[in-house]
Amino acid sequence: MKITHKFPLLHVHTGTTIGNGLLGLSVWGGKEVLNITVGNSKLWDHRGGMIWRPEQNFRRFRQLIESGNQDALFAEFQPGGMPPTIIPAGRLTLRLGANSVLERCVLHLDDGLIEAFYRRDNVERVIQVRLSQADREIFLLKLPEKLDAKLIPAYHLSDALAGRGFEPPTEELNGFIQKRPADPPFGIHFRREGNLLQLCFGEQRYPLSWEELTRENQKYWGDFQRGVPQIQLPDSELQEFYNWNLFRFQCMTSPGGVPAGLQGPWIEDHRLPPWSSDYHFNINVQMCYWPAFQTGRWENLLPLFDLMESWEETLRHNARCFAEIDDGFAMPHSMDDRCVGMGDFWAGMVDHGCSLWMAHMMWEYFRYSRDEKFLRRFAFRYMKGVMRVVEALLEKHGDTLSLPCAVSPEYRGNRLDACGKNPSFQLAAIHRLIIDLKDAAEQLGETPSPAWRKIGEQLPQAAVAEGELAIWEGLIPEESHRHHSHLAGIYPFDIFSVEDPKWEQILRNSENRWIALGMGRWAGWSMPWAAMLHNRFGNADMALFTLDLWRRAYVNSGGGTLHDTAFPGLSVGLTGDNTIMQMDAGMGVVAAILDLFVYESQGVLFALHGIPDSWQEFSCRDIHCPNGFIFSAERQNGVTKIELFATRPAVLKLRFRGEYIQREMAEKESFKRSL
């Protein structure tokens, strides 16, 4: 499998990329200059940010909201200076010589090799690039001839680092060392051996030959490709995006690596990354990890969960301040790798839905992996701590409970009125956690808290106004919004479905308004989430069209996934910069494509629900489902076949072409059906 792009590729995020969970390389350029930007997802400037203070509690927050004291509210959540940020590292520049022209860049998905082809004097030449997956700080270049090579520190590519008080780097013949004001220094160096360039990030060492690295890459990527679902789509472009973005998922989330932020390891070298390339927990981090479940790459989630476990004392501190309890867990919506909040956005700082969503991710990890050790060691404790904060925030009114003042992610931004009573997003997340906690307690032989049952019975599942889901009580959606959060009860939290008679008309009304408001203010990552919602609404053709529209409107010339549209007309630019790359949308598209073949709702697997009738031929093999089922399907010569394989004893609940099937399955038993 190959991915090919034609030069010129004139921006770092149009480049062909490779990563290993720490370093990210982007190969780009034009004419006779080839650039390799080196990013590092662990390279933080940790100064600044906000540590939660005792006076930033829910009582105080609610008082400021209800009194209309906007100035005091904003002042409470100012970080007091610059926020922490990941910083750029540097760029390797190769000058190819006069009369040289770069032609194309090829990425080999089966072994991780990047080849940059150029032509001079009517002779084609190729530069080959390999990145080690074992020693994450090493990469090699094999050159066709001796070329002028120079490492340029990011300090010299813009004034961003100088503007944060960095000193100029110490430059050496074969690299540089860059000091950081509050963190250890870093460096990049290279060594020549004939036409081989050996490069290392950090301490100078050159342990690998080209042949050794080739063998390592071939085994690593060969094992990966054999271990993930194989699909064949009738749409060659969508097929390419699936193959490539699944590859990039492994590049940025590999086990033992650094958890993926907004840009993974592919940090631009000419400026500070947008939003610090931090951890945004109101959808972006979650979407970056969506492919882990159905692809069977569950271990890729562990670096993220391990990071959160390392934050335990800070998460408890946050809950002591915000909820005024000693046994809770709470985090803001954006932070650095030390759980220091970015601040400057009060509506994100108080968004407890971020903690709730990650609790659900941990339980889903268990449902797929059956990793009871992790569930017992940290996940169940985290889930209970998140629910304890919910208990502290709820307000009792006779026989009912309410969440008196909370946000729906980024709705109305940072305005004083960006909150209300019982946001549908928060309610859905709470009810999801109640279900998950009961199941987790049963799994571990623990006694469920009576509070969970009481909240489940007394707290509404959603805010409903004018016969449809509301943002919060009394407010139906009034604008196109990038977060489809009022629909989160459908996906990702799955607390009701469009087939439930109690909710069917409300959800259909909500669907109609959502469609009527349109896509005019959506971001790139809005699109795969929308495709998954359309799938559950029964709009298979629209789910597919949404993915098709995404790849045409939110992808740059090199396949980079964009935050804003690549061209005007579809959506109002949210940032005014159509070069901003984020990895969430590309990962969401991988999950949404797999979702077309099979997804779970209310404990039932829906087979081929998102496959349009126009697809006359397709196949998928080994898509993982909850509770140990593996799904495969194909359509050939007008015959559609599905197969589910049970990796452990379980009850199969299946919807396929209007038929409902329920049966107990033994370990290694297969169920097949054809039409």
Three-state helix/strand/coil letters over 587-639: HHHHHHHHHHHEEEECCEEEECCCCCCCCCCEEEEEEECHHHEEEEEEEECCE
Range of the domain at 665: 618-674
Examine the domain organization and report whether 65 and 91 are in the same domain: no
With respect to residue 547, please indicate whether it lies within any of the assigned structural domains.
no
CATH code, 500: 1.50.10.10
Residues 347, 410 contacting (CB under 8 angstroms)? yes
Examine the domain organization and report whether 403 and 439 are in the same domain: yes
Examine the domain organization and report whether 202 and 89 are in the same domain: yes
How high is the pLDDT of residue 103? 97
**What residues have CB less than 8 Å from 531, skipping those under 6 apart?**
543, 544, 546, 547, 550, 589, 592, 595, 610
How high is the pLDDT of residue 595? 98
How high is the pLDDT of residue 6? 96
With respect to residue 415, please indicate whether it lies within any of the assigned structural domains.
yes
Examine the domain organization and report whether 163 and 103 are in the same domain: yes
Among the candidates 494, 518, 542, a domain finishes at 518
As to burial, measured by CB atoms within 10 angstroms (0-12 exposed, 13-18 middle, 19+ buried), residue 397 is exposed
Examine the domain organization and report whether 378 and 471 are in the same domain: yes
| Residue 173: pLDDT over 90 | no
| Residue 553: pLDDT over 90 | yes
CATH code, 131: 2.70.98.50
With respect to residue 525, please indicate whether it lies within any of the assigned structural domains.
no
The model's confidence at residue 79, banded by pLDDT at 50, 70 and 90, is low
How high is the pLDDT of residue 445? 98
With respect to residue 35, please indicate whether it lies within any of the assigned structural domains.
yes
Tens-digit pLDDT profile for residues 606-649: 999 999 999 999 999 999 999 999 999 999 999 999 999 999 99
Tens-digit pLDDT profile for residues 33-62: 999 999 999 999 999 999 999 999 999 999
Examine the domain organization and report whether 30 and 74 are in the same domain: no
Examine the domain organization and report whether 301 and 192 are in the same domain: no
Examine the domain organization and report whether 191 and 104 are in the same domain: yes
Q: How many domains does the chain have?
A: 3
| Residue 78: pLDDT over 80 | no
How high is the pLDDT of residue 308? 98
The model's confidence at residue 65, banded by pLDDT at 50, 70 and 90, is very high
Structure token digits, residue 197: 């360039």
How high is the pLDDT of residue 77? 78
Examine the domain organization and report whether 213 and 181 are in the same domain: yes
Examine the domain organization and report whether 91 and 181 are in the same domain: yes
How high is the pLDDT of residue 206? 86
Among the candidates 464, 492, 518, a domain finishes at 518
Tens-digit pLDDT profile for residues 368-412: 999 999 999 999 999 999 999 999 999 999 999 999 999 999 999
Q: Mean pLDDT for the chain?
A: 96
For the range 490-494, what are the long-range contacts, defined as Cβ-Cβ under 8 Å and sequence gap of 24 or more? 490/533, 490/536, 490/537, 491/529, 491/532, 491/533, 491/536, 492/286, 492/357, 492/360, 493/360, 493/428, 493/429, 493/431, 493/432, 494/432, 494/600, 494/601, 494/602
With respect to residue 527, please indicate whether it lies within any of the assigned structural domains.
no
| Residue 177: pLDDT over 80 | yes
How high is the pLDDT of residue 133? 97
How high is the pLDDT of residue 204? 86
With respect to residue 270, please indicate whether it lies within any of the assigned structural domains.
no
| Residue 444: pLDDT over 80 | yes
**How many whole angstroms separate alpha carbon 169 and alpha carbon 525?**
37
Task: Give me the amino acid identity at 42.
Answer: K
Examine the domain organization and report whether 96 and 108 are in the same domain: yes
Tens-digit pLDDT profile for residues 484-534: 999 999 999 999 988 899 999 999 999 999 999 999 999 999 999 999 999
The model's confidence at residue 80, banded by pLDDT at 50, 70 and 90, is low
Examine the domain organization and report whether 408 and 480 are in the same domain: yes
Which backbone phi and psi does 408 adopt, to 5 degrees? -110, 125
Tens-digit pLDDT profile for residues 581-602: 999 999 999 999 999 999 999 9
With respect to residue 531, please indicate whether it lies within any of the assigned structural domains.
no
With respect to residue 25, please indicate whether it lies within any of the assigned structural domains.
yes
Instruction: Give the pLDDT mean for 418-437.
Output: 98
